[in-house]
Amino acid sequence: MRHLPKILILLFLFQNLSAQTNRRPLFDDPDLSEFRQLGGDAEFTYADGILTGTTKHDTPNSFLATKEIFGDFILEFSVKIEYGMNSGVQFRSNQHSEKEYVFGYQCEIETSERKWAGGIYDEARRGWLYPLTRNAEGQNAFRNGTWNHYRIEAIGSQIRTWVNGVSCANLVDEMTAAGFIAFQVHSIGKNDRAGQKVRWKDVFITTDLTRIQRQETTAPEVSLLVNKLSENERRKGWRLLWDGKTADGWRGAKSDDFPDRGWSMKDGILAVEKSDGAESANGGDIITHRQFSDFELCVDFKISEGANSGIKYFVQPEINKGAGSAIGLEFQILDNQKHPDAEKGTDGNRTLGALYDLIPPQNLSEVGRRRDIRHKNGQWNQARIVVQSGRVEHWLNEIKIIEYDRFSQTFAALVGHSKYREIENFGRFTAGHILLQDHGDAVEFRSIKIREF
């Protein structure tokens, strides 16, 4: 091997030294004077380079937060937690001035069977943003009963995590650009054992990222950008089905034009307006000009109180030209608590997320939580529909809730006992339109995007 020129060696050493100099410990003072405790009053102690948090009854989530605010950074730490506990590290987080609660991004630390350690939770705000439901390798990264090394990169809109060198989360989100870092002791129930401990050590932060080489990620990307595509999405063939402003690419299900009433486009939201609750009786359903076969579709939606709507696919508008909605497979959108349709059908097959009138939704991603599909009341939710070679999946907020084969005998039997039994070849069409339903209730849509396989 040839020797490198001295000038290159010196340059390498200088750059490496600069990077090391910029990486600094987050705990500089044994009395934790650069931190403040927020939320509950669980105990935090610092000794011999280890921060220890101890659970306590009758107190909410407790946080030891930096007084310093951080924007873009790389945070590294090691953590050890007793089995059965739940904890996390907040970042780009803030405190509500009136209610004094902590809210913002949290990197999950947990020991449960679902194995979401390294995922991203939005504390006191939007809930789970990146559970590890599509990352089997990441689910197995955390090791119970020992020290685990974490790395969090928050750079611009990209938030990425690693546990023990394994890529866990890969989130794109623009909601919060800066905030404090905080170490959490989770609240416990009255029957849980107090005095359990979570420990952190070797906590380092890097804020000057000009000479830092970013670590490669293999985790699937989840983008929460509003009416925009990430660079990775564009590279993988995603495109917006709605541009956030105009009716381009859409028309009425029973017309060549976009409806002149019943739908609005304002502030990046495509909304069906409230009328009388009847099916397709106001502005009517809207469909894409194009038809699709194998695809992955993502749609953000927000339900008003008592609302009913749906996202349909493989829609054949010529089947029903009379009253009512166009025909297709449907991802049901419904207020399960306030709309009577939730009690109709069979075993919940008309509730939120169902393959309407055919298959009820279940939580297929978490052990022991079959009935919890994790809908976010009053907030934006993301529907994801994946169709490939006959296999179909419904996802709600990164939780798989439906899976079926539309060419199987089981599917044919379900159709035979449904309201669609008289429709020849229902659900087995080669291609069809995407539809957003007007059911006479106010529902909002945005960030409608698709990629074809």
DSSP 46-91: EETTEEEEE--TT---EEEEESS-BSSEEEEEEEEE-TT-EEEEEE
CB contact at 8 A, 332 and 350:
yes
Q: Are residues 144 and 254 in the same domain?
A: no
pLDDT at 20: 52
What would the two tokens of residue 198 be?
């979570």
Q: Is 309 a member of any domain?
A: yes
What count of Cα atoms within 13 Å lies in the side-chain half-sphere of residue 100?
9
Residue at which a domain ends, from 190, 223, 256: 223
pLDDT at 281: 81
Q: Are residues 204 and 238 in the same domain?
A: no
Q: Is 217 helix (H, G, I), strand (E, B) or coil?
A: coil
Closest to 306 measured CA to CA, from 350, 338, 342: 338
Q: Are residues 206 and 250 in the same domain?
A: no
Q: Are residues 214 and 240 in the same domain?
A: no
Report CA dihedral (385, 320, 256, 239) to the nearest 10 degrees: 10
CATH number for the domain that contains residue 431? 2.60.120.560
pLDDT at 371: 86
- Asked if the model's pLDDT at residue 256 lies above 90, the reply is yes
Q: Is 194 a member of any domain?
A: yes
CB contact at 8 A, 238 and 223:
no
Give residue 30's pLDDT band: very low, low, confident or very high (50, 70, 90).
confident
Q: Are residues 209 and 308 in the same domain?
A: no
- The DSSP symbol for 257 reads S
Q: Is 294 a member of any domain?
A: yes
Q: Are residues 278 and 147 in the same domain?
A: no
Query: Based on the structure, what is the number of domains in the chain?
Result: 2
Average pLDDT of span 280-284: 88
Contacts of 29 (CB under 8 A, 6+ apart): none
CB contact at 8 A, 261 and 277:
no
Q: What is the mean pLDDT of the chain?
A: 93
Average pLDDT of span 94-121: 93
Report d(CA 150, CA 203) in Å as an integer. 9
Report d(CA 48, CA 226) in Å as an integer. 45
Radius of gyration of the chain (CA): 25
129: containing domain: 6-223
- Model confidence pTM above 0.95: no
Residue at which a domain ends, from 223, 242, 259: 223
Q: Are residues 164 and 305 in the same domain?
A: no
Q: Are residues 279 and 255 in the same domain?
A: yes
Sign of CA dihedral 284, 377, 329, 422: negative
Q: Are residues 212 and 270 in the same domain?
A: no
- Give residue-wise pLDDT tens across range 154-198: 999 999 999 999 999 999 999 999 999 999 999 999 889 999 999
Q: Are residues 395 and 430 in the same domain?
A: yes
- The DSSP symbol for 105 reads E
Length of the chain measured in residues: 453
pLDDT at 19: 47
Q: Are residues 380 and 413 in the same domain?
A: yes
Q: Is 437 a member of any domain?
A: yes
- Asked if the model's pLDDT at residue 39 lies above 70, the reply is yes
Which CA distances in Å does 112 have to 52, 84, 368? 21, 7, 11
DSSP letter string over 97-131? Answer: TTT--EEEEEEEEE-STT--TT-EEEETTTEEEE-
Which CA distances in Å does 177 have to 22, 105, 155, 158, 327? 21, 10, 9, 10, 43
pLDDT at 14: 42
Which residue is associated with the tokens 């705990």? 27
Residue at which a domain ends, from 206, 223, 240: 223
Q: Is 136 helix (H, G, I), strand (E, B) or coil?
A: helix
Q: Is 1 a member of any domain?
A: no
Which residue is associated with the tokens 């070679």? 389
359-372 per-residue burial string, b: 16 or more CB within 10 A, e: under 16: bbbbbbbbeeeeee
Report CA dihedral (73, 77, 83, 87) to the nearest 10 degrees: -30
Give start and end residues of each alpha helix (H) in 85-167.
Answer: 136-139
Q: Is 272 a member of any domain?
A: yes
pLDDT at 8: 46
Q: Are residues 421 and 362 in the same domain?
A: yes
